[in-house]
A and B are shown apart, each in its own frame.
Chain A
Amino acid sequence: QKEVEQNSGPLSVPEGAIASLNCTYSDRGSQSFFWYRQYSGKSPELIMSIYSNGDKEDGRFTAQLNKASQYVSLLIRDSQPSDSATYLCAVLRNYQLIWGAGTKLIIKP
């Protein structure tokens, strides 16, 4: 079992709809959780961080964390073609970031 798992996709979502990206992790001792966006050929950029159970909203993005079920998700409302990218989930454990392989998201106009 991988430490951080994501569906590789591609996940295809119509423009204007909600995109839902999921990530599960294996270590209950994980402390912090991050979502990064990576455009093709570019480096990852931080979108959201979440540290406690529940939802955290930032503009069109909402991160959800459920430590009991060991999953973290990212919702993108009103999806735009510019949201098309690979989304990486990262989990902080003992000061080390553990990365998922990423989910490729395609927003169809």
Chain B
Amino acid sequence: SQTIHQWPATLVQPVGSPLSLECTVEGTSNPNLYWYRQAAGRGLQLLFYSVGIGQISSEVPQNLSASRPQDRQFILSSKKLLLSDSGFYLCAWNHGAPNTEAFFGQGTRLTVV
């Protein structure tokens, strides 16, 4: 069966510090991978998605970046965090086929102080 791992679960970082969140998927190959951010009481905002190694599409211009160094690994990064980067970050995957639902990692609660 497929599983998705995302870490860390919680993170408190000072303004201006770097960020690296990692997500890995097991039990499948060539998944579509997604990074979402969810502000408190709000819906899911798609940040990045990737349909293959090295292929990253950005949905929202900001100081975040994403990379996919391996087929089942997706990394969200920032060189300098802003207060507005605080939120709940979710990694998700699905197959690149029609009618395919997405599955989420446990999420990372990021607080920038």
The answer to whether A and B assemble together is yes
Residues of A bordering B, CB below 8 Å: 31-32, 34, 41-46, 49, 51, 88, 90, 92, 95-97, 99-102
Q: How far is the CB of B27 from chain A (nearest CB, A)?
A: 16
B104:A44 contact, CB within 8 angstroms: yes
Residues of the A chain whose Cβ atoms lie less than 8 Å from the Cβ of B96: 95
Query: Residue of B at shortest CB range from A51?
Result: B99
Q: How far is the CB of A109 from chain B (nearest CB, A)?
A: 24
Residues of the A chain whose Cβ atoms lie less than 8 Å from the Cβ of B94: 97
Q: Which one, B14-22, B63-71, B73-81, B105-113, is touching chain A?
A: B105-113
Query: Residue of B at shortest CB range from A44?
Result: B104
B43:A101 contact, CB within 8 angstroms: yes
Question: What CA separation (Å) do A45 and B105 show in the bound complex?
Answer: 10
Question: What CA separation (Å) do A102 and B100 show in the bound complex?
Answer: 20
B101:A49 contact, CB within 8 angstroms: yes
Instruction: From B44, B99, B104, name the one whose CB has the most chain A CB atoms within 10 angstroms.
Output: B44
Residues of the B chain whose Cβ atoms lie less than 8 Å from the Cβ of A43: 90, 104-107
Task: Show 29 residue pairs from A and B whose CB-CB distance is below 8 angstroms, ordered by the A residue.
Answer: A31-B98, A31-B99, A32-B98, A32-B99, A32-B100, A34-B101, A34-B102, A41-B88, A42-B106, A42-B107, A43-B90, A43-B104, A43-B105, A44-B44, A45-B104, A46-B102, A51-B99, A88-B44, A90-B102, A92-B98, A92-B99, A96-B49, A97-B34, A97-B46, A97-B94, A99-B46, A100-B43, A101-B42, A102-B43
Question: What CA separation (Å) do A90 and B103 show in the bound complex?
Answer: 12
Known: A32-B98, A95-B96, A101-B43. A46 touches B32 (CB 8 A): no
Q: How far is the CB of B105 from chain A (nearest CB, A)?
A: 6
Residues of B bordering A, CB below 8 Å: 32, 34, 42-44, 46, 49, 88, 90, 94, 96, 98-107, 109
Complex A-B, nearest 9 residue pairs according to Cβ-Cβ distance, in ascending order: A101-B43, A43-B104, A43-B107, A99-B44, A32-B99, A99-B43, A46-B101, A49-B101, A34-B101
Residues of the B chain whose Cβ atoms lie less than 8 Å from the Cβ of A95: 32, 96, 98
Residues of the A chain whose Cβ atoms lie less than 8 Å from the Cβ of B43: 88, 99-102
Q: How far is the CB of A44 from chain B (nearest CB, A)?
A: 5
